[in-house]
Amino acid sequence: MTTLRYIIRDTWRLIFHHWVLGLLTLITAGVMLWILGITTLLALNMENLLSKLESELAVQAYLVKDNTIDVEAIARRIQSLEYVYSIKTFSPSDSLAKLQHKMGSQSRALEMLGDNPIPWNFEIHVNSAQDVEPLVETLKAMPEVDDVVYAGLVVKRISALSRISSRVALVMFLLAVIITALVIYNTIHISLYSRREEIGIMYLVGATRAYIATPFVLEGTLLAFLGAVIAGAGIITAYFPGIELIRENLPLLTNIILTDHALIWRFCGLLAGFGATLGWVCSYLVVARFINSITRPE
Amino acid sequence: MNINFSGVSKIFEPDIAALVDITLNIDQGEFVYIIGQTGSGKSTLLRLITREILPSRGVVAVGGYDLRRMRKADIPYYRRDVGLVAQDFKLIPTLTVYENIAFVMEAMSVPKRLVSERTKDVINQVGLWRRRSMRPAQLSGGEQQRVAIARALANSPSLFIADEPTGNLDFHTAAEVMKILFAINAAGVTVVMSTHNQGIVNASRQRVIELDGGRLIRDEKGGTYSS
């Protein structure tokens, strides 16, 4: 308890001794973690949007015209495939009715065809856009399947968009982490360097390495944590009004965007924890390295 | 705390022999002067005792422990038992006299009340209570030296190392400092002090160890500055 009191006092001393540098670190960490948070939220929203689009993707499989075919057995076989999320079976008459409904006033043109030309068919939904291609290949290989119709280009674009979005989010995440880490590392290094003589004296008169190091590690952790709290506050301030704006102007997107307040608060809590951990790791590394070099006997 | 040097040499890079084959023994409670010209190896010998440096050859043992084999984690605990007064005082410029002394005990997690009592006690011992709120830069050389002595006394060490503690002081202040060192020694603490001050060595007639070019050339009980 006594040691803790001394350590906390020394941490405050450190922060106030280099308050300009501390403030700069705080602002930089805040901005970088805000970018990190917003990027992550955008990526999550993008994922949400893509998964919604993916769930809308359907593959239409038409069976050969053969009355001996066991449609239900084929449906079960398709349902058991790992890519398949759901399958709906349409009889030729259902399909014709659907088509007539779609064509509206022009549906009379269908009567010119005579017999119903549409065979038994399935509307298959997949788990993700990437599953469409392998599913199509599997369906085409089935002798009972006559034709497979799907939005190939859309699938390819959604898959590509999903990949790009994940990569951009990852790059932004890494950049923000690296910049924040470097700023904290540098601040603590300057703090240590300016007190190198003091550190040497403390070690010489019997202070343990932990006693010397802890205030510096706490300084870095605290700065990064406060930066993350500022970033969290910035995210909440920007995100919720942003949602309201979208709700008013683009109501269609309301269902796609993450709007759960509790989720966003939890996310900001996680960001604060992440900031503190990042600060702790960076400070620990630089302090351990510095104290090792300064206390190593010749 | 006794000190034992056995065949100790210290060679600094690239090839500077600061100490050559030193063998000596200092018993608990002794007062020893280390004398010699500048560059003779006095400070190196003291720095080996405080484990700021390690010997290139031989063994330095303090209180029966080989300092080279000492674990990293044990070094602070060893140093708490060694009071050190460096030639350049080694005071922390941003702390006051009081804080410079108190932090040694704070580092040992001594409760605040005890820190306060002991700090007051040692500051009074060196006669600087009225200057307790000043920073080192506001003090004279002699006063800074006394702060360094007070700090070294704070943990009640069994071994007191002083590297030219009177080097920058006038005769009167030097005599004051020596009075304190003799009082410490009278309490049973081993005192090892390097000095150039002939007057002090000749006046007190303690054990004298003389170094020249890193070699031990004289070890005399009740000796004077010149053989």
Would you state the pLDDT for residue B48? 95
Virtual torsion, Cα A289, A294, B1, B3, nearest 10 deg:
110
* pLDDT per position as a tens digit, B72-125: 889 999 999 999 998 888 898 888 999 999 988 888 878 889 999 999 999 998
Mean pLDDT in residue range A45-68? 80
Residue B186 lies in a domain: yes
Number of H helices, E strands in chain B: 7, 10
Judged by CB atoms within 8 Å, which residues 31-90 of A form the interface with B? none
Residue B226 lies in a domain: no
* Mean pLDDT, chain A, integer: 84
How far is residue B227's CA from residue A265's CA, in Å, rounded to a whole number?
82
How far is residue B139's CA from residue A137's CA, in Å, rounded to a whole number?
88
Q: Quick check: A64 pLDDT over 80? A: yes
Would you state the pLDDT for residue A197? 84
DSSP string, A40-88: HHHHHHHHHHHHHHHHH-EEEEEEPS-TT--HHHHHHHHHTSTTEEEEE
How far is residue A253's CA from residue A245's CA, in Å, rounded to a whole number?
11
Q: Quick check: A153 pLDDT over 80? A: no
Would you state the pLDDT for residue A1? 64
Would you state the pLDDT for residue A252? 66
Residue B48 lies in a domain: yes
**Rounded to the nearest 5 degrees, what angle is found at the Cα of B123, between the Cα atoms of B200 and B103?**
110
Regarding an ipTM greater than 0.90, the answer is no
pTM over 0.90: no
Mean pLDDT in residue range A53-70? 82
Would you state the pLDDT for residue A97? 85
Would you state the pLDDT for residue A93? 87
Residue B227 lies in a domain: no
Cβ atoms of residues A200 and A295 within 8 Å: yes
Mean pLDDT in residue range A125-152? 85
Nearest CA in chain B to A204: B79
- Provide the residue range defining the domain that includes B216: 3-220
Residue B24 lies in a domain: yes
Residue B225 lies in a domain: no
Mean pLDDT in residue range A253-265? 81
Residue B175 lies in a domain: yes
Cβ atoms of residues B117 and B111 within 8 Å: no
Would you state the pLDDT for residue A121? 93
How far is residue B120's CA from residue A131's CA, in Å, rounded to a whole number?
78
Question: Residues with Cβ < 8 Å from A229, sequence gap 6 or more?
Answer: A272, A275
Would you state the pLDDT for residue B177? 84
The encoded tokens of residue A101 equal 């409904």
Would you state the pLDDT for residue B110? 84
Would you state the pLDDT for residue A44? 83
Helix %, strand %, coil % of chain A (to 5):
80, 10, 15
Q: What is the pLDDT along chain B (227 residues), one digit of tens a residue?
A: 899 999 999 999 888 999 999 999 999 999 999 999 988 999 999 999 999 999 999 999 998 889 999 988 899 999 999 999 988 888 988 889 999 999 888 888 788 899 999 999 999 988 889 999 999 999 988 889 889 999 998 988 999 999 998 877 778 888 888 988 999 999 999 999 999 888 899 988 899 999 999 999 999 998 888 86
Do B103 and A17 lie within an 8 Å CB cutoff?
no
Q: Quick check: A169 pLDDT over 90? A: no
Q: Quick check: A190 pLDDT over 90? A: no
Cβ atoms of residues A176 and A32 within 8 Å: yes
Nearest CA in chain A to B91: A201
| Long-range Cβ pairs for the range B177-186 (8 Å, 24+) | B177/B142, B177/B145, B177/B146, B177/B149, B178/B204, B180/B125, B180/B126, B180/B146, B180/B149, B181/B31, B181/B149, B182/B31, B184/B83, B184/B153, B184/B160, B185/B29, B185/B31, B185/B160
Tell me the pLDDT band of A17, cut-offs 50, 70 and 90.
confident
Q: Does A12 touch chain B (CB under 8 A)?
A: no
Would you state the pLDDT for residue A152? 64
Q: How many CA atoms lie within 13 A of B13 on its CB side?
A: 2
Question: In chain B, which residues touch A (CB < 8 A)?
Answer: 12, 50-54, 72-73, 75-77, 79-80, 84, 90-92, 94, 103-104, 106-112, 151-152, 155
Residue B189 lies in a domain: yes
Among the listed residues A270, A278, A176, the one whose alpha carbon sits nearest the alpha carbon of residue A221: A278
Would you state the pLDDT for residue A268? 92
Chain A residues closer than 8 Å to B150 by CB: none
CATH of the domain at B213: 3.40.50.300
Would you state the pLDDT for residue A19? 82
* pLDDT per position as a tens digit, A83-132: 888 899 999 888 888 888 877 767 777 677 677 888 999 999 888 777 88
Number of domains in chain B: 1
Number of H helices, E strands in chain A: 9, 4
Tracing tokens 């965007």 back to the chain, one arrives at: A257
Q: Which domains does chain A have, with CATH numbers?
A: 2-53+157-295 (no CATH), 58-150 (3.30.70.3040)
Which of A11, A201, A209, A295 would you mutate first to test chain B, the one with the most B CBs within 10 A? A201
Task: Specify the higher pLDDT residue, B223 or A233.
Answer: A233
Do A6 and B155 lie within an 8 Å CB cutoff?
no
